[in-house]
Amino acid sequence: SNVKINGKNSTIPTLCSVNKEQYLDFYKFNYDDGDKQKIIDKLADGNNIIVSSTLKTSLSLKKNDTLSLKLKDDKAVKFKVIGFYDTLESTALMDIDVMKENIGDTYYSTCLVKGTKHTEVDTTTMKEKLAVTSGDKDVQIKTVDEIKDASIESNKQIVSIMQLFSLITLLIAVFGIVNNIIVSYMEKRRIFAVQRSIGMSKFQLVKIALVEALLTGIIGSVLGIAGGNGLLYIAPKIMMSLGLRLVMHITGIQILVCVGGSVLLTILTSIRSAVKTSKAQIIEAIKYE
């Protein structure tokens, strides 16, 4: 882990060895640039390496680039980048024999065991049998579900911070909308009084407020959704440059809720302000500055 890259102020957090005969039986390999088995087989054709999409972005790598890795005794060994694969982790893949040759380790840090059945009962039974087999050795045995849960738990902090940031932004936006509408009616108080003095009814005043609120809510929602979609595009790229892959999306229901909430908020605030304005004395309102 944390393999240093010669000439770069960066590391590869996890370097994984690959048995080309069995790798695809155990892992979901998200590779879209050709035949998966062929690219895995190519790892054994010399010092070749496949890099994750997160490292590709953070290290600004291209296919056929060369990475000089400090492996055994800090000796720099050059590897050719032959492809990229999509994963949440910042990892790289190397053929198992090439890794043994360059690192010299003969022990495995992780072993995967695949059963013929995948029910919860069979998985638990297998885990118990492996625990007995390992004896007193310091070995951690985890099921796939436990690994998934651990990964989700480790990402909760980042997600919670982003959710808190989104909530604060939403509250600021709500207070901003309400404040702008109230200030707008205070500024137009004298204008409405003059219009009422020449025949505008209270109903017409409320009607104007309703139309204005509806348009404000719709336009504000459209601009907000456009800005949100822009953030959905930019934020993952920023996180990717930091070595973290983050998938963000917004559903159609969430868009409808945002539009409906924005329109409802502007309508309620505008009608309240309009009704209050309509009850004001015309003479006093005309004198208002």
Report pLDDT digits (tens) over 152-175: 777 777 778 877 887 888 788 888
Contact 235, 248 (CB under 8 A): yes
* pLDDT given at position 223: 84
Q: Which fold has domain 3-112?
A: Barwin-like endoglucanases (2.40.40)
Q: What does the alpha-carbon distance between residue 13 and residue 92 come to, in Å, rounded to a whole number?
A: 9
Give me the pLDDT at residue 50, please: 94
* DSSP-assigned beta bridge partners for residue 220: none
Burial of residue 287 (number of CB atoms within 10 Å: 0-12, 13-18, 19+) = exposed
CB neighbourhood size of 131 (10 A): 12
Residue 208 contacts residue 274 (beta carbons within 8 Å)? yes
At residue 49, the 3 state secondary structure works out as strand
Q: Using an 8 Å Cβ cutoff, are 48 and 79 in contact?
A: yes
62-76, 99-113, 184-198, 200-214: lowest mean pLDDT where? 184-198
Helix intervals (H) in the chain = 23-26, 36-42, 53-58, 96-103, 120-134, 144-187, 189-197, 202-241, 252-278, 282-287
pLDDT band at 282 (very low <50, low <70, confident <90, very high): low
Higher-pLDDT residue of 54 and 112 is 54
Helix (H) or strand (E) holding 75: none
- The residue with greater pLDDT, 284 or 275, is 275
Greatest mean pLDDT among 129-138, 150-159, 259-268:
259-268
For the ranges 24-33, 127-136, 209-218, 280-289, which has the lowest average pLDDT? 280-289
> Across residues 254-279, what is the average pLDDT?
78
The confidence score (pLDDT) of residue 278 equals: 63
Task: Give this prediction's pTM.
Answer: 0.59
User: Which tens digit of pLDDT belongs to each residue from 59-115?
Assistant: 888 999 999 888 877 788 899 999 999 887 788 999 988 888 887 766 667 777 776
Give residue 134's pLDDT.
Answer: 65
Q: Which residue has the tokens 């102020």?
A: 9
- Give residue limits of the domains in the chain: 3-112, 116-142, 146-287
Number of other residues whose CB lies within 10 A of the CB of residue 147: 10
* Cα dihedral value 187, 191, 197, 199, nearest 10: -120
Burial of 188 (0-12, 13-18, 19+ CB in 10 A): middle
Q: What is the pLDDT of residue 136?
A: 65
Please, what is the average pLDDT of the chain?
Answer: 78
Q: How far apart are the first and last CA of the chain?
A: 70
d(CA 248, CA 224): 16
pLDDT given for residue 16 in this prediction = 87
